[in-house]
Amino acid sequence: MDDHRRRTGEELEQVTDHIEEGIRAGKYTWREIQHAITAKTREAATTTDQYAHENPWRVIGIAAGLGFVLGLLLAPQSSDE
């Protein structure tokens, strides 16, 4: 899965570079940029969904860990002075 994630990251970087180049050259309209971003967002969501289905316990563990850390950070601090 790490190879897929790396490949997806490289593809996203290439698309980003391509869009930036198109913006500088005036090749793309706002609608075209919006469409490209929407397509990549859907692709990322599909990849995330696939990963979650293939590794449900890992995703649950990550979510629980993040929830625990956020709970610690957001919990009111008691002052025992």
Specify the number of domains making up the chain: 1
Instruction: Let me know if residue 13 belongs to a domain.
Output: yes
pLDDT per residue rounded down to tens, the chain (81 residues): 567 667 777 777 887 888 788 777 777 777 888 888 899 899 889 998 999 999 999 999 999 999 999 999 998 887 665
Instruction: Let me know if residue 79 belongs to a domain.
Output: no
Instruction: Let me know if residue 28 belongs to a domain.
Output: yes
What pLDDT, on a 0 to 100 scale, did the predictor assign at position 79?
A: 63
Q: Which burial class, exposed, middle or buried, applies to 47 when counting CB atoms under 10 A from its CB (0-12, 13-18, 19+)? A: middle
pTM for the structure as a whole: 0.49
Range of the domain at 57: 2-70
12 CB-near residues (< 8 Å, 6+ apart)? 40, 44
Instruction: Let me know if residue 75 belongs to a domain.
Output: no
What pLDDT, on a 0 to 100 scale, did the predictor assign at position 78?
A: 72
Instruction: Let me know if residue 80 belongs to a domain.
Output: no
